[in-house]
Chain A
Amino acid sequence: MKELSDEQLIARVKTGDTTAYKELYHRYASPVLGLSYRIVGDRAKAEEIMQETFWRVWDNVDSFRKQRGTFPNWVFGIARNLSIDVVRRRKIVRMEPLPDAHGDYAETSEQMKDDHDVAEAAWLLMKSEKVHHAMRELPDEQREVVEWIYFQGMTRREIAKEKDIPFGTINTRAQLALKKLKRALESNGFFEES
């Protein structure tokens, strides 16, 4: 089952195959929980969001269309939106620093080794570290725009108002950031492994 692609698993889940669903869950539950925790900063709330995210994957799997993006894009999008909703309801915006490669990663790695498939955990940590490294390579002003929008749920309008940055500058920084991020991820083989 593990050798099946995300799209093949999704096709099976659409027929009601719970085994395929569980494979998808085990493939993405950890990064989804990590993303939710990064945004809401509350472990219990992040687990609730993770559960709700995967329930929606099951319940709305027929609405998934490959043409509108990959499965990671879809599932992370659900988790991110649920997390941002929680943050907005609390009216608290967390500014979580990027984890240190030799601190948080090592701790997470140890935790995952305890009760998770080692190869899967290593695969996830490797992907996480590659994205983390690519993000670190971005100029500060470009990384900030990504942080504000994606991880803190700020709109362009809110950024312009709170940070006093023109729309055009925000647009340009977002474009440059995503292009550089994609190039860096392509060069470090991130997309090939998925």
Chain B
Amino acid sequence: MDEYDEQIEDTLAVHALQGLSPEEAEAVEAYLAAHPEAAAELAEYEQAVSALGFAAPPLQPSADAEAALLARVDADARRRTASSAQTASPPPQTSSWRTFFSALLARPAFGAASLAFAAVLVVWTAVLFGRNSALQVLNEGLVTDNVQLSAEVSTLNAQNDALAAKNDTLNAANSSLENQVRDLTQANGDLLARVNNLDTANAALETEIASLLAMNAELTEAYAALETDTESAQQVLALLTSPTVEAVTIPGNPETQPEAQGQLLVDGDRETAVLVVAGMEPPPQGSVYQVLLIHDTGHETADTFVVDTQGESVLIVHSEQPLSTFNAVGVSVEPAGGSPQRTGDIVLLGSIN
């Protein structure tokens, strides 16, 4: 049995699970006694097996089952305590009296006086026996009381232990909660700081976005102006390169601005023309110059303009009809923004045809 036995070694796990027959298990146990390393391996397996008891979901025993079991155990404990108390109590001391009477009766001078004395002794002894019996009953009662008191002390100890354990549990839970609150407070502070940082960053971004939007609006406006300028330039270029373009001189009104002079580059088939003016006075405050297109039955007001410090200006004149349908062109002084009908003095006037 001292030799290594591979077959038995291989069965240790099954043995830990209690899956061997009684004969096989007996052989394994005998082998273990001589092979501590195998016993150690078995202990490893048994540790895993001990956990299997927890594999099933725990179930709360019924109150009746618990009460019945614990009552049975309490009763047994009391019985054991009482049994050990009786075993420990001293035996009744009657032998000394028996010895005394035997000695007395054996004496040779035993007479009537002795008999009377003996009778008194018998009565006294009876009384003493009676008192002894009463004391024994009292003693048994005290033993019973003692057992009951022990049980009560045990119960109170149990309650005390349970309360102490609950107190410990609550203290531990309280401490854990305090730690959690501290951690959460710290985490909350960190989050608030991060939120503040994000708010600051967000405000900076909003400012930048507003600035970019304003810049975008300006660029859009500039782009629109450039598109307008480009369109005007294209129109002027088309007009100037037209083979049928003519230059019409528009003199200043001798009564209002005799020094003023204008030239209209016009192509009769088109709806646009270029007006170049010079020598004009600045229009009065709150007024602009406005082009008049005059035909047989009236006139139409067209584009408005102002002049520079030299009294000069170049503008494109737009019409809804070909310019060949008009007989003359003029410039009048009108309120800022222009007027649908002429209201002011004419400062330039000339025939188109």
A44 to chain B, nearest CB (A): 9
Q: Among A38, A55, A155, A179, point to the contact of B72 (Cβ < 8 A).
A: A55
Q: Which B13-49 residues sit within 8 Å CB-CB of chain A?
A: 13-14, 16-21, 24, 43-49
Assembly CA distance A134 to B12 (angstroms) = 21
A25 interface hit (Cβ, 8 Å): yes
Q: Please state if A182 and B48 are interface contacts (CB–CB under 8 Å).
A: yes
Contacts of A51 in B (CB 8 A): 65, 68-69
Assembly CA distance A58 to B76 (angstroms) = 9
Q: Please state if A76 and B158 are interface contacts (CB–CB under 8 Å).
A: no
B214 interface hit (Cβ, 8 Å): no
Assess A50 versus B61: contact at CB under 8 Å? Given A31-B56, A150-B49, A182-B48: yes
Q: Please state if B51 and A149 are interface contacts (CB–CB under 8 Å).
A: no
B37 to chain A, nearest CB (A): 15
Contacts of B45 in A (CB 8 A): 175, 178, 182
Q: Please state if B73 and A55 are interface contacts (CB–CB under 8 Å).
A: yes
A79 to chain B, nearest CB (A): 7
Q: Please state if B69 and A80 are interface contacts (CB–CB under 8 Å).
A: no
Q: Among B10, B48, B77, B80, point to the contact of A181 (Cβ < 8 A).
A: B48
Among listed B162-170, B196-204, B260-268, B327-335, interface-contacting one: B162-170
Closest to B161 in A: A1
Q: Please state if A99 and B57 are interface contacts (CB–CB under 8 Å).
A: yes
B102 interface hit (Cβ, 8 Å): no
A146 interface hit (Cβ, 8 Å): yes
B62 interface hit (Cβ, 8 Å): yes
Contacts of A161 in B (CB 8 A): none
A63 interface hit (Cβ, 8 Å): no
Q: Please state if A76 and B14 are interface contacts (CB–CB under 8 Å).
A: no
Assess A177 versus B13: contact at CB under 8 Å? Given A76-B53, A131-B51: yes
Contacts of A178 in B (CB 8 A): 13, 16-17, 44-45, 48-49
B329 to chain A, nearest CB (A): 94
Q: Please state if B19 and A174 are interface contacts (CB–CB under 8 Å).
A: yes
Q: Please state if A1 and B55 are interface contacts (CB–CB under 8 Å).
A: no
Closest to A75 in B: B53
Closest to B169 in A: A119
B90 interface hit (Cβ, 8 Å): no
Contacts of A130 in B (CB 8 A): 54
Assess A38 versus B69: contact at CB under 8 Å? Given A29-B61, A73-B50: no
Binary CB contact string for chain A from 153 to 194 against chain B (1 if under 8 A, 0 otherwise): 011110100000000101110110111011001000011000
Assembly CA distance A31 to B321 (angstroms) = 105
Q: Which B147-183 residues sit within 8 Å CB-CB of chain A?
A: 154, 157-158, 161-162, 164-165, 168-169, 173
Contacts of A33 in B (CB 8 A): 58-61
Instruction: Using CB atoms and an 8 Å cutoff, list the residues of chain B in contact with chain A.
Output: 10-14, 16-21, 24, 43-63, 65-66, 68-70, 72-74, 76-77, 80-81, 154, 157-158, 161-162, 164-165, 168-169, 173
Please name 6 pairs of A and B residues whose Cβ atoms are closer than 8 Å in the assembled complex, sorted by A: A2-B169, A37-B56, A69-B50, A150-B17, A151-B55, A182-B44
Instruction: Using CB atoms and an 8 Å cutoff, list the residues of chain A in contact with chain B.
Output: 1-3, 16-19, 21-23, 25, 29-35, 37-38, 43, 46-47, 50-51, 54-55, 58-59, 69-70, 72-73, 75-77, 79-81, 98-99, 104-105, 108, 111-112, 114-116, 119, 121, 124-125, 127-128, 130-132, 134-135, 146, 148-151, 154-157, 159, 168, 170-172, 174-175, 177-179, 181-182, 185, 190-191
